[in-house]
Each structure stands twice: as structure tokens, then as C-alpha cells.
Copies of this chain bind each other. A is one copy, B any other.
Amino acid sequence: MSETKDALVVFMPSGRRGRFAHGTPLLDAARSLGVYVESVCGGRGLCGRCQVTPTAGRFAKHKITSSPETLSAVGDVEARYTRRRALPADRRLSCQARIGGDLVVDVPTDSAVNKQIVRKRAETRHIDRDPAVRLMYVEVAEPDMANPSGDLDRLQQALAREWMVDGARLDPPLLPHLQKVLRAGGWKVTAAIHDDSAGPVIIGLWPELRQRAFGLAVDIGSTTIAAHLVDLMSGRTVASAGTANPQVRFGEDLMSRVSYVLMNPDGLPALTEAVRGAVSGLIDKVAAEANAGRDDIMDATFVGNPVMHHIFLGLDPTELGGAPFALAVSGPVAVPAREIGVEIHPGARVYVLPCIAGHVGADAAAATLAEAPHRGEAITLLVDVGTNAEIVLGSRDRLLAASSPTGPAFEGAEISCGQRAAPGAIERVRIDPETLEPKIKVIGCDRWSDEPEFAVESPAVGVTGICGSGIVETIAEMFLAGIIDEDGVVDGTMLERSDRVVSDGRTFSYVLWREGSVAVRVTQTDVRAIQLAKAALYAGVRLLMDRLGVENVDRIRLAGAFGSYIDPKYAMVLGLIPDCALDQVAAVGNAAGTGARMALLNRGHRREVEKLVRDVEKIETAMEPKFQAHFVSAMAFPNKTEPFPRLAEAVALPVRSGPAAGDPPRRRGGRRRRTG
């Protein structure tokens, strides 16, 4: 060993480097540097997961000349693997190849799933992989009369010897299967080890080498439930599915479901069964899509708002219906899946992410984990708009969270022509400021209504209503066109300029679409509903900004379905969100689901979300005296008292009527101020 100088080895892409004695297996070298190279078979050349690519040549940057030919020759074990599985020509099994000289090694991303790219819809995200469940192949000592010990005890010894897993307990449901599996595998078995905060547990056991383990990440929303099946071995999301939350039949919104539980003795079990049944259906779907069985799913993470979180766990949500909005559990819940009726592998575990407060749930915690305001220096505003808007604001220095009761207007409810996002719903609107004529886009058709193809390609149902994102855009365009003023009053004088503006008696409406006897219109009451909703949201955001002592935010992230579909520009024109450079406002899709997948794939992210939930300052907006004042100012478009200079650079806003806060709404035409 000491007759030759130790070799310098650099692992890419991490660039970690170290000197190693000749003869050291590359796998051992990687591990000693903390470079994550997967191995299920424990270095026996069976699983092929430890593949690496040695590279040749002079690397000026690393100051070494890499010589792959110094590696030990391909031996029997590696040759046998190559015959079975076709190892690419430039690859070696790092458990077999031994260091013989200086070397630069690429750890390829397809086998070294450490830095795995996960694709889900348009979203790309790196999730470092360190799952709670790992597969470990072991060769167990056979029973020996001269040295008697139990099958389990010898399995535990093998895990300790080969994988440094000490004191692994056996999950009780495995007890009756232990003997058979060990004998079926000829004392060669693969164990699934769950190792999170409660210590290592043997939760699965199969004969011989097994390299198949999936995890489930579920986001239980009030309206929809989404499930993702993730390959724990690669980190890839292999299937996704969604379904309507069947609890809707007990109540459209959260509070009506809480009332149902309060009023019906069997309400809680019925609601719990409904959501668990829906989850079970999704498991079937994603498993079928990935050609997997329920038994292949070894771990699961769940997120949801506090009411969904409680009902899913069988916890009474009625305490969440009134002050002090006490959660039964705010910390993470880690339980065997079988204890809460999730039928996957009998030994599988469930990890339910922690809730932040009575109105800020595990979904918000997961979205925060995913968007990571706590990791950066930028003051980030994260908003998830639903019946309650969940608001997180801050940076690595300090993080605040609150919720604001926006009501269901943003979801198309309480709007006269509002409807759920479905084919036929208007989702995009442009109003010509001169003619006041609109053009629209509906869900299910890519054409604008002024394009000739629209008549042919628009959905057979016709134009049926306006969805949540459509109403925001419509009202913003009405404001920009001067049809409504900054106080939200539909200008009756416009009656003269366009037949789109019609009288409803004392107030006026704007007709967005006419087709036969059907008219899709926005009424004064609709505008008021949106004003109330957006004022509640903005007042909450503004309160957090006060607390944090900032006048501006650097970045805005809009999470959730509504956040994904609204145009950030129109949201800011209406003053839903504070002024910010438009290129720093982005929809982040199902950030809660992303957070659930992160917690599924990496135990470190579990500790991270637990810490951020402990550390985040929880603000109860209802208890803040300034909330009302902020709310009143925020009734105006975009705001009665606050300037939106960065928005004004990007959009021609109507000229302000004046700085006076709390003016009563007046009937007055909007005037345009062109800037930028």
C-alpha cells in the first residue's frame, strides 16, 4: 500500500476530491468523500447502480492527468454483470473498479440519482435524494446448531455488518413471513429499511436482490386531491393522477364540512372515509400507470390544509372552526400507513408534513419548503389562494406566515356568471379601451374569439361562464379600459359609448359575451365580491410586510391552481398582490405537491420543513388592529393609498383619482395615464 503514492481522485460533477490508497474500490472512495453513489447489493456487483464513468486526459482545472487504464481490470463479477445487463462501454461498476492512479470520475445522473431531474408537467426541479426507505441486499448467515440464534437476529447482524444499520427492529406484520422469505432466497434477501426519526425498522423483506420501491406524495386539497408516484430508486415521478375531493358532497367549502362534522354524529368517520377512499382510488390509478402494485409502495407523504389534514388523520376538525383555531397536531405525523387506512405495502410508513397554524396548513408548509424563501436573501412573498389565502413572507433572516379569509370569489363562486375551470369557461379577456369591445379565450380552445377559427374550434358546450382566473382578468381589463373606476364602480356614462354596458336598475353591468339568449356578464355585485376577496388577501400581505418592516417585496410566488392560471400582471393591476417587478412574479403550480415529493425523497427536507414550521412567526390577522385600515385601502384598484410604481412602469394604469383614503365610491369615468 505504502510503496506507491496515494492516488488523487476527483468526482464530478461535485468536484469532491481526495487521495486514496491503490486498491481502494471507487465506491468506497466516493462514500468517504460524501459523494452519493447508490448501491443496493452492498458492493457485490449485482445491482449495477454504482456505475461511474472514468474519464481520460489532462484536467488543468483539477491539476491532474486522469488515467482510466490505471483502474483494476474488469473481473469476473463485473463481466458477469455486463453480460446480463449491458453496461455502457465507458462505464465501470464502482464497487469493482479499484483505484490504481490519478483519476477524474463522472458520476452519471441516471444511476447516481443523487441529483435527479424530476419532470412533472412543465416543471423541472432537482431533488437531492436521501429517502427514508432504502433497499439493502444482505447475505444472512444460515442457522447453526452449534451457535444458535434466531433468523431475525442473524438478519439484524447482516444489516449491521454490511450496511452499518444497527438495532433495526422488525415491523410486526413481517414476523410471520420472515422464515419463509429467508429460506426462499437461500439466505440472500433484500430488506427495505425505514430509517427516520424513530430509528431503523425492517419494513419489507424479499428473497434475493430487489431494486423496486416506490413512494407516494399526496396533496389533499379541499376541491381536488392529487397523487404522484415516485420511483424511490431514481427519484423520478413515474405517474400522477388527480381526482375531485368526494367530500364536496358534504359541503363545498371547508367550513361547511366542519359544520357537517359538528352536526352529524357520524360526520367525521364519513368524511374521513371519503377522503381515504379517494386516496385509495388514486393509488390504483398511479400504480396502474406505472405498472406497479400497491405492495411496491413503501413510503408516502401527505400535505393538506388543516381541515383536510385533520379529517384525513381521523381528527375532529371542529376546533378549527372557531377561535382559537386549535390544531390537534401541528408537528409532523409519522405513522405506519396501515394505522390510518392507507393500503399500500403492509410495512409502509406515512409522513404527514407539519401544519403552521390553524389556518395555515401542511400544504402551505410544503409550498414554503418547495419555494424556499427561508434559504435566500430576497424578500419573497408566497401566496396560495383558496377560500383562505395562505401567505408566507420573508427570507432566510426571518419568515412570517398568516392566512386571510378571501372567501370563494376567486374560485368563481359568488360571481353571477362564475363557474369552475372547465371547457367553455372564459379564462382570458382583452377589452379595447376605445371601442370597449372584448375578445375572449375559453378553456378548451387556443383561439381568441376574434379569430375566425374560434367558432369552429371552441368547445361544443359554447361559452358557459367565467372561471376564477377569467374574472380577475376581466375586471382588471374593465378597470384598464375605464369601464370601472378605481373604487370598482361600473361607470353608467359608458352606456352611451357601448351596448356592452347595460343598466341593472341602480347599477350597471358589462356584457362580455352574447350568443343567442345566453349572455355572460360582469355585474356591479361581481366586482364588489372580487374587491372584498382581493382586499382581504392584500391586507394580510400588507400586515406581514408591516411586521417584517418592509415596503416592498423582491419576489412573488403564486401557488395553487388559481395562482397557476391568473396572469400576474392582472393580479397586480387589481392589487391582489403588492407592487413588484413583473419578471419577479411567477406562478409555481402545485408547490405543495412539490414539497410533498421533496419530503418523500429526502429526509433532510423533512427536518427542514419541521424547522421552518417551528421557526416561522405565525401572525393571526384577525387580531391585528391595522388589518381593517389595510383592508379599506385595498378595496380600491390597485389600492387607495399605496403606489404601484413598478407596475406602472409595465402597464398603463388609469390616472389616480386622488390620495384620499376611505373616500366613498363615486360614479366617475376612469382616466388613463400612460407611462413607461
Which A residues are closer than 8 A to B by beta carbons?
A: 142-153, 156, 167, 169-170, 172-173, 175-176, 178-180, 197-199, 313-316, 319, 323-331, 333-336, 339-340, 355-358, 618, 620, 623
Contacts and interface: CB of A to CB of B under 8 A. Distances in A.
13 contacts: A143-B319, A148-B357, A150-B355, A151-B326, A152-B328, A152-B330, A153-B331, A169-B198, A175-B328, A176-B314, A176-B316, A178-B329, A198-B199
Contact of A620 (B145, B153, B176, B618): B145
Q: Oligomeric state, in number of copies?
A: 2
- When A and B form their complex, which 3 residue pairs have the shortest distance between CB atoms, in order from nearest? A150-B330, A143-B326, A148-B357
A178 B310 CA distance: 12
A330 B623 contact: no
Contact of A329 (B175, B197, B198, B331): B175
A346 to B, nearest CB: 11
A276 B175 CA distance: 16
Contacts of A356: 148
A151 B329 contact: yes
Nearest to A173: B339
A315 B153 contact: no
A145 B335 contact: no
Nearest to A317: B179
B618 A147 contact: yes
A355 B143 CA distance: 14
Contacts of A325: 143, 145, 148
B172 A316 contact: no
Contact of A330 (B153, B314, B336): B153
Contact of A146 (B152, B156, B340, B620): B620
A175 B145 contact: no
A313 B179 contact: no
A340 B174 CA distance: 12
Given A176-B315, A339-B173, A149 B327 contact: yes
Given A144-B324, A199-B199, A324-B143, A330 B172 contact: no
A148 B328 CA distance: 11
A598 B83 CA distance: 59
B623 A145 contact: yes
A47 to B, nearest CB: 27
A447 to B, nearest CB: 48
Question: Looking at A148, A175, A178, A316, which has the most chain B CB atoms within 10 Å of its CB?
Answer: A148
Given A152-B331, A328-B150, A175 B357 contact: no
Nearest to A356: B148
Contact of A335 (B172, B327, B339, B340): B172
Contacts of A334: 169
Nearest to A151: B328
A620 B146 CA distance: 6
Given A142-B324, A175-B315, 10 more contacts: A145-B325, A146-B620, A148-B618, A148-B620, A150-B326, A150-B328, A151-B327, A153-B329, A170-B329, A178-B329
A159 B521 CA distance: 59
A51 B192 CA distance: 50
B335 A152 contact: no
Nearest to A318: B179
B323 A145 contact: yes
A330 B178 contact: no
Given A151-B326, A330-B150, A314 B175 contact: yes
A355 to B, nearest CB: 7
Contact of A328 (B179, B315, B324): B179
A178 to B, nearest CB: 6
Contacts of A340: 172
A308 to B, nearest CB: 15
Nearest to A330: B150
A616 to B, nearest CB: 11
Nearest to A325: B145
A500 to B, nearest CB: 47
Nearest to A360: B148
Nearest to A167: B197
A414 B111 CA distance: 67
Nearest to A326: B143
Contacts of A146: 620, 623
Given A173-B339, A198-B169, A328 B178 contact: yes
Nearest to A358: B148
Which of A197, A199, A327, A358: most chain B CB closer than 10 A? A327
Contacts of A355: 150
A390 B153 CA distance: 22
Contacts of A329: 150-153, 170, 175, 178
